[in-house]
């Protein structure tokens, strides 16, 4: 009980420092507003596609619309790098929010006036997402730039909580507003939410530019790309590959769960919604709880999250009973919740500060489509073996991934310990600053976090 009270005081104190930070005081609430708008678009984007699609083509255009709202982000991260890497973090957030506000406003106006064509719709959605990898990188870069290391996990957790809670509340709000006014108006609300974020981010960018103008000139940053920085850092590369694999193995769940509920459980859309609701609530709680893990070694926490999420899927894959599946999915949300905050903190600490926004954009460019690829693979697997077996396969492979990562970490740590012991052997000569010194004076090799 005392540990819980200490943890709560720690969390409240860290959150209070974030709220008092002059640069984040307005940006964080604006980020929450835009996340809520995005949560509402989960319903509106697909529903509008169904309404405007030609007869018999609703499925095709709905799939294209949903994909266009997310998948072009990796393309923008790669093609627009020469332009975007010149911008400061606040400018990246502002540029992404502005692009989304303008394009989604165009969608809303055309939809409300009855002028929206499916091809134009998909094109506007694709343009709206081009800068999203850079916008996401910008906001997490701001957290790393503006906050001390002890508060960075709190900032990451708060952003993750915004996203998780918005996807619990947003669809419910969108359902009611869509029934009252139509999906075009919901997308208009989403555009307005990004306009709020754009105003806050441009204001912050202007303040930072004014401060920089009165101080010393900022040093020129090299044109090194985020990809090269990741490839040159084995830990970041390993974390990126692990994250992509984790997200890929999650992808089939989004296909298998609806099929399992509809065919295996003979349930209703309401039951499917209940599964996602309990997951969203659990993920929100877990994201908030990430602050309590900030003094833990991050890599073991990542391993526990991966193995724990796989274990949480086992009730869905092993039984048709509803209650164990709901409990497992809710627990899975709690377990998964801290992942974004913890893994992002590893990138924030491991990447060179002047390359952080590029590294995070490159990371988003790979992790964003990883879930989509998993979903694409999940479709044929579900068709071949069914929904529940696919959930079980996803669970077992995810557990195997976590165990494999733990084994690699253990081997790496053991090798590091061996190298350290060897370097401390009496009389062993070690190079330092171009001179040979005895091992007794040599520094120990750093361990994995």
pLDDT tens digit string along 270-283? 677 788 788 888 88
Q: Which of 13-17, 117-121, 251-255, 358-362 has the highest mean pLDDT?
A: 117-121
The C-alpha angle 101, 102, 108, rounded to 5 degrees, equals 85
Task: Identify the DSSP state of 224.
Answer: -
Q: Is residue 178 part of a domain?
A: yes
Q: Same domain for 285 and 404?
A: yes
Q: Which of 41-45, 123-127, 151-155, 267-271 has the highest mean pLDDT?
A: 123-127
Assess whether pLDDT exceeds 50 at residue 218.
no
Please report where in the chains the tokens 């985020």 appear, as a residue: 226
Helix (H, G, I), strand (E, B) or coil at 7: helix
Q: Is residue 425 part of a domain?
A: no
Q: What is the pLDDT of residue 434?
A: 40
Name the more confident of 399 and 227.
Answer: 399
Q: How far apart are CA 384 and CA 256, in angstroms?
A: 11
Q: What is the pLDDT of residue 331?
A: 95
In 260-355, alpha helices (H): 269-289, 298-318, 322-336, 339-350
Averaged over 86-115, what is the pLDDT?
92
Q: How far apart are CA 172 and CA 102, in angstroms?
A: 25
Averaged over 314-320, what is the pLDDT?
92
Q: What is the pLDDT of residue 441?
A: 35
Q: Is residue 315 part of a domain?
A: yes
- Window from 67-81, 97-111, 206-220, 427-441 with minimum mean pLDDT: 427-441
Q: Is residue 428 part of a domain?
A: no
Q: What is the pLDDT of residue 430?
A: 45
Assess whether pLDDT exceeds 70 at residue 448.
no
Q: What is the pLDDT of residue 46?
A: 76
Structure tokens at 379: 């479709």
Q: Which domain holds residue 324?
A: 225-417
pLDDT digits (tens, 9 = 90+) for 32-41: 899 888 888 8
Q: Is residue 369 part of a domain?
A: yes
Averaged over 334-360, what is the pLDDT?
83
Structure tokens at 123: 């094109």
Residues 6+ positions from 335 with CB-CB distance below 8 Å: 282, 286, 304, 305, 308, 309, 312
What CATH number is given to the structural domain containing 286?
Answer: 1.20.1250.20
Name the more confident of 337 and 221.
Answer: 337
Q: What is the pLDDT of residue 116?
A: 93
Q: Same domain for 247 and 351?
A: yes
Q: What is the pLDDT of residue 234?
A: 83
Q: Same domain for 313 and 287?
A: yes
Say what percent of the chain tops pLDDT 90.
26
Q: Same domain for 191 and 233?
A: no
Q: How far apart are CA 6 and CA 164, in angstroms?
A: 25
Q: Same domain for 193 and 232?
A: no
The C-alpha angle 226, 227, 230, rounded to 5 degrees, equals 85
Averaged over 399-409, what is the pLDDT?
94
Q: Same domain for 272 and 248?
A: yes
Closest CA to 198 of 26, 52, 362, 353: 26
Q: What is the pLDDT of residue 325?
A: 92
Q: How far apart are CA 291 and CA 293, in angstroms?
A: 5
**Half-sphere exposure (CA, 13 Å, Cβ side) for 164?**
28
Q: Same domain for 200 and 129?
A: yes
Q: Same domain for 80 and 137?
A: yes
Looking at the structure of the chain, the number of domains it has is: 2
**Final residue of a domain: which of 158, 182, 212?**
212
Q: Same domain for 46 and 137?
A: yes
- Window from 109-118, 222-231, 258-267 with minimum mean pLDDT: 222-231
Contact (Cβ atoms closer than 8 angstroms) between residue 96 and residue 135: yes
Q: What is the mean pLDDT of the chain?
A: 79
Q: Is residue 219 part of a domain?
A: no
Assess whether pLDDT exceeds 60 at residue 8.
no
Q: Is residue 426 part of a domain?
A: no
**Half-sphere exposure (CA, 13 Å, Cβ side) for 421?**
6
Assess whether pLDDT exceeds 90 at residue 417.
no
Q: Same domain for 161 and 237?
A: no
Q: Same domain for 46 and 121?
A: yes
Q: Same domain for 199 and 330?
A: no
Q: Is residue 16 part of a domain?
A: yes
């Amino acid at each position: 009980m005392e540990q819980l009270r200490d943890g709560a005081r720690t969390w409240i104190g860290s959150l209070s420092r974030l709220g008092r930070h002059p640069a984040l005081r307005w940006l964080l609430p604006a980020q929450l507003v835009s996340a809520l708008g995005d949560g509402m678009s989960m319903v509106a984007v697909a529903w509008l596609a169904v309404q405007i699609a030609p007869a018999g083509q609703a499925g095709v255009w709905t799939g294209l619309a949903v994909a266009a709202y997310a998948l072009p982000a990796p393309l923008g991260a790669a093609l627009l790098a020469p332009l975007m890497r010149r911008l400061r973090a606040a400018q990246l957030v502002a540029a992404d929010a502005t692009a989304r506000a303008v394009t989604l406003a165009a969608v809303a106006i055309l939809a409300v006036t009855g002028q929206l064509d499916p091809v134009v719709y998909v094109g506007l959605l694709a343009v709206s997402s081009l800068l999203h990898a850079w916008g996401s990188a910008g906001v997490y870069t701001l957290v790393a730039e503006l906050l001390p290391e002890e508060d960075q996990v709190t900032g990451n957790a708060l952003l993750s909580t915004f996203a998780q809670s918005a996807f619990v509340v947003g669809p419910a709000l969108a359902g009611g507003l869509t029934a009252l006014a139509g999906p075009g108006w919901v997308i208009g609300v989403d555009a307005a939410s990004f306009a709020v974020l754009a105003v806050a981010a441009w204001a912050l960018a202007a303040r930072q530019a004014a401060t920089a103008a009165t101080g010393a000139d900022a040093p020129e940053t090299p044109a090194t790309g985020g990809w090269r920085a990741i490839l040159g850092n084995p830990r970041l590369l390993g974390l990126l590959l692990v994250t992509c694999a984790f997200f890929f193995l999650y992808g089939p769940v989004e296909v298998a769960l609806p099929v399992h509920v509809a065919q295996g459980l003979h349930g209703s859309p309401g039951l499917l919604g209940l599964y996602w609701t309990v997951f969203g609530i659990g993920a929100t709680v877990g994201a908030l709880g990430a602050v309590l893990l900030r003094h833990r070694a991050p890599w073991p926490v990542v391993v526990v999250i991966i193995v724990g999420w796989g274990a949480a899927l086992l009730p869905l894959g092993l039984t048709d009973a509803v209650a164990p599946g709901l409990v497992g999915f809710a627990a899975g949300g709690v377990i998964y919740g801290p992942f974004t905050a913890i893994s992002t903190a590893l990138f924030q600490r491991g990447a060179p500060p002047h390359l952080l926004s590029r590294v995070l954009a490159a990371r988003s460019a790979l992790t964003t489509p990883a879930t989509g690829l998993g979903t694409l693979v999940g479709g044929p697997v579900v068709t071949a073996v069914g929904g529940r077996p696919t959930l079980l396969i996803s669970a077992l492979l995810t557990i195997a991934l976590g165990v494999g990562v733990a084994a690699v970490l253990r081997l790496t740590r053991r090798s590091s310990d061996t190298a350290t012991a060897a370097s401390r052997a009496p009389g062993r000569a070690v190079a330092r600053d171009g001179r040979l010194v005895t091992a007794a004076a040599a520094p120990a090799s750093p361990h994995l976090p």
